[in-house]
Structure 1
Amino acid sequence: MNKVAIIVAGGSGKRMGGDLPKQFLMLHNKPVLYYTLNTFLSSYDDMQIILVLAEDYVDMGREIIDAYFEKDRIRITIGGVTRFDSVKNGLSMVTDEAIVFVHDAARCTLSADLIHRCYEKALESGSAIPVIKCSDSLRMITEDGLNEALDREKIMLVQTPQVFHSKILIPAFNIDYKDWFTDEASVVEAFGMMVSLVEGEKQNLKITHPIDMATAEKVLENLIV
């Protein structure tokens, strides 16, 4: 089965507090985006990548590709206003039947093993959403301004890559956008399909705040990159 990874790298990184989007910040003398691309390309010899970038950063993305990777395995498209739009733009470049991975560029510490497990699950059931258990206590703010405890045993934290057969994902992204579409799983569920969960990885963190860079740096020291 064809394998296509849509790497969403269109964010501005405002929460990091700097001018440069987080996917271009340096870790161990290489940009964050390098590690994400490298893990996917190394996971399968036939993995193809569609890199979704903000228009202002296309040249910077091309510089990374030219410096480290085979150009024929990575294509670039422009991101949209929302994540939904960006993923839809990436999906427009998927022309053949495939297992499609959608992954945040800022999650640069995932393992090839997670990619393999997601692929096998999606091949079997049509979808694979990596999740991890929540270790913190949780409270929900109610509509009347009060709050109540939630059972954390019933709560899972969702990660990427979110993986689907193209026959499911592409039609799902033809529905109208809703504000509560926070990931691909929510889009597919709105389309009327159930999703399958797989065990994620604690190390598969999303770089959002400056402290996450230090954590990612430590994780990468223990990975083959």
Structure 2
Amino acid sequence: MTNKAAILVAGGKGTRMGGPVAKQYMPVAGKPVLMRTLSVFHKVDPTIDLILVLPESDFLYWEDLCAQFKFKIPHRLVAGGNSRFQSVRNGLHSLSTDTKLVAIHDGVRPFVAESVISESFEVAEQAGSAIAVIALKDSIRKLRDDGKSFYEERQYFRLVQTPQTFQVDKIKKAFAVTELQQFTDDATVYENQGWQVTLISGNPENIKITTPEDLGYAEFIAAKQLSNR
């Protein structure tokens, strides 16, 4: 029994994609997004406990997709909640008592690097947490309520990705609170306990597929990966 788990959160309805099928089920280079994401984690560690959090109403649809694409990677389904916070908490409640480390990942980030996943577990085991981030390329400005804006030094900021990996006992304690508006990701829930998060380098290709433009870029990334094999 592995002491590692990964919770892949995909509870959204995909309204920003503008189509009848939610983004997590749409194909990229002939393979549904969620299957790509599950495959990366499985490749890093075939013994990892993979938990896929979906709207309960999508369970049968997902099972049909798995049959259609002959998708055999072992994973468990957990019903999502009304918010990302609630969906992650449901996933945490489903963990085995033997699980010591858990990576929480957006299901619609199928291009996370294997090395990032591996490092996240290694760092979280020692430090308690490991949050994947990347540096900004563009200049940034801070807006004020009066309409004025001010230049900010971009080297002091990072774009936050997933996975966000934690020691299970700590992240379970962090999620045993009332949901707050400032909980924009799992790191902010963790910080609410007064704990400092540890940052690791993510990979730029690890995009979150949200819009039709993202889907087009995802096709490009997938084609590039195939050509480099």
Q: Distance in 2 between matches of 1:58 and 1:127?
A: 31
Q: Distance in 2 between matches of 1:199 and 1:65?
A: 32
Kept in 2, the 8 Å contact 1:36–1:106? The answer is yes
The one-character-per-residue Cα deviations of 1:152-183 (angstroms, maximum 9, x if unpaired) are 11110000010001011111000111011010
- How far did 1:132 drift? 0.3
Aligned to 1:68, the other structure's residue is in SS state coil
> TM-score, normalising length from structure 1?
0.94
1:98-137 equivalent positions in 2, closer than 5 A: 98-137=100-139
Kept in 2, the 8 Å contact 1:13–1:22? The answer is yes
The one-character-per-residue Cα deviations of 1:7-50 (angstroms, maximum 9, x if unpaired) are 00111111111121101111111111110011111110211111
Q: Distance in 2 between matches of 1:45 and 1:17?
A: 35
Select between 73-82 and 196-205 the one with higher mean Cα deviation: 73-82
Aligned to 2:225, the other structure's residue is in SS state coil
Structure 1: runs of 5+ lacking an equivalent = none
Kept in 2, the 8 Å contact 1:2–1:46? The answer is no
Which residue number in structure 2 is paired with residue 172 of structure 1?
174
Aligned to 1:7, the other structure's residue is in SS state strand
- How far did 1:95 drift? 2.7
Q: Distance in 1 between matches of 2:189 and 2:179?
A: 8
- How far did 1:218 drift? 1.7
- How far did 1:221 drift? 2.5
Aligned to 1:15, the other structure's residue is in SS state helix
- How far did 1:60 drift? 2.0
Which residue number in structure 2 is paired with residue 91 of structure 1?
92
Distance of aligned partners of 1:223 and 1:98 in 2 relative to their CA distance in 1, 3 Å threshold: farther
Which residue number in structure 1 is paired with residue 148 of structure 2?
146
Instruction: Point out 4+ residue stretches in structure 1 off by more than 6 angstroms.
Output: none
- How far did 1:137 drift? 1.1
Select between 137-146 and 164-173 the one with higher mean Cα deviation: 137-146
- How far did 1:145 drift? 2.6
Which residue number in structure 1 is paired with residue 6 of structure 2?
5
Residues 1:69 and 2:84 aligned together: no
- How far did 1:64 drift? 3.8
Residues 1:160 and 2:162 aligned together: yes
Q: Distance in 2 between matches of 1:116 and 1:199?
A: 12
Aligned to 1:108, the other structure's residue is in SS state coil
Which residue number in structure 1 is paired with residue 48 of structure 2?
47
Select between 182-191 and 26-35 the one with higher mean Cα deviation: 26-35
- How far did 1:220 drift? 1.7
User: Alignment RMSD, CA only?
Assistant: 1.5
Q: Distance in 2 between matches of 1:65 and 1:3?
A: 24
Which residue number in structure 2 is paired with residue 20 of structure 1?
21
> TM-score, normalising length from structure 2?
0.93
